[in-house]
Amino acid sequence: MQHDAWNTVRALADYYDTMSDLPREQNWILNVLKIAEETGEAAQAVIGLTGTNPRKGLSHTWDDVRAEVADVIITSMIALARMSPDPDEFFDNQLAAKAGRALEGTGRLPAQRPPARIRNSAKAVIIHDGNVLLTRNLWRGRECHFLPGGGQHPGEPLPHAAEREVLEETGLTVTASQLLWVREWASKPGDFPQDHDIVHRIEIAFHCTLAGSPELTGGHQADSDQIGLEWVPLEKISSLDTLAPHYRDRITALAAGAPQAAAYLPSETGA
C-alpha cells in the first residue's frame, strides 16, 4: 500500500485523537466498534443490490457496495494507526505472514518482498532537577526503558517531531535545542521473525528543556507498548540495565558535563 495513503490515515488518526477527551484505549475500542458498524453498512448495501429486502427492493449498485467496503477499510486503517506507532509496517508484516501461509507452494507468492522503508525517529533527552525522563515499555516480551520520542511525519522538522512526540507520550511541553547524536541501526535477517522484514531506523536525539510543569500526567497518544513514565536519577543511569548501553553512555557523559559535540553512533544490530 502506498505510503502517501498511510500519511493521510495518520493525519486522520491524529485529528480524531485531538477531538476526543476520552482515554486512548477507550478511543481504540470505539474505533474498532465503528468497524463493525461500517461492516453492517456494507452488508445492507449487498442486501440492496440483490433486492432481498422485499420492502426496499433493488436499492443499491455495485458502486455502492464498493464505497461501503472502502469505508470499512479506511475505518480499519485509522484504528490501526491509532493503536500502532508504525501501522504501515505492522500491516505489511501481517499481510506477508498471511500470504505466506495461504500461498506457500502455489507459485503465487511474490518471490521477493520490497525492502522496508527507512524510518526517522526523533528522540528527546529531558533533564530536570538531576533526573532524566524515560518511558517504560514492554518491548518484544521484556520491560525496557526508552527515551521519549518517535517517528517523524512527512514535512515535519525533526526538532518539532521530538517536541510533538514528547507531548503525545508524556503530556509535557518541551523545546528541542542541541543535536546530541544520530544513531543508525538495522536488524539482520532472522533477528525479529515476527517482523518478516529488515528493520532500519535512523534515530536523532535532541537535548530538550521543559517549557512547563514536570508533573507526569501522561500523554494522549502514547505507544501501545508504553506502560509508564519515570524521572530517573542521573546517578542511576549507568547501572540501569533496562536502558540500552548507547543511551546509558551518552546520558551519563551529558550529566557529567562532558562537552557534547553531535556524534554518529553506528550499530550492527537492532539492540
Q: How far apart are the C-alpha atoms of 162 and 133, rounded to whole Å? A: 13
Q: How far apart are CA 173 and CA 158, in angstroms?
A: 16
Three-class DSSP category at 133 = strand
Give bridge partners of residue 137 from the DSSP assignment.
144, 226
| Range in 1-10, 29-38, 202-211, 226-235 the model is least confident about | 1-10
What is the Cα–Cα distance from 60 to 37, expressed in whole angstroms? 18
Q: With 80 as the cut, is the pLDDT of residue 165 above it?
A: yes
**Is the per-residue pLDDT at 197 higher than 60?**
no
Segment 190-207 shows an average pLDDT of: 72
- Local confidence band at 37 (pLDDT 50, 70, 90 cut-offs): very high
Check whether 199 has a pLDDT greater than 50: yes
Greatest mean pLDDT range, 28-42, 76-90, 206-220: 28-42
Dist CA 240 CA 134 (whole Å): 11
Q: Is the pLDDT assigned to residue 247 strictly greater than 70?
A: yes
Of 42, 24, 41, 32, the C-alpha closest to 75 is 32
Question: Does residue 191 surpass a pLDDT of 70?
Answer: no
128 has pLDDT over 90: yes
Q: Return mean pLDDT, the chain.
A: 86
Integer Cα distance of 65 and 94 in angstroms = 26
How would you write 203-224 as a 3-class SS string?
EEEEEEEECCCCCCCCCCCCCC
Q: Which of 174, 142, 144 is nearest to 159 (CA)?
A: 174
Residue 30 has pLDDT above 90, yes or no: yes
Instruction: Report yes or no: 192 and 199 within 8 Å, Cβ to Cβ.
Output: yes
Q: How far apart are CA 211 and CA 173, in angstroms?
A: 5
Q: Which of 170-179, 186-195, 202-211 is least confident?
A: 186-195
pLDDT tens digits for range 93-108: 888 888 888 988 888 8
Distances, alpha carbon 106 to alpha carbons 26, 93, 96, 110, 179, in Å = 42, 20, 15, 11, 51
pTM for the complete prediction?
0.64
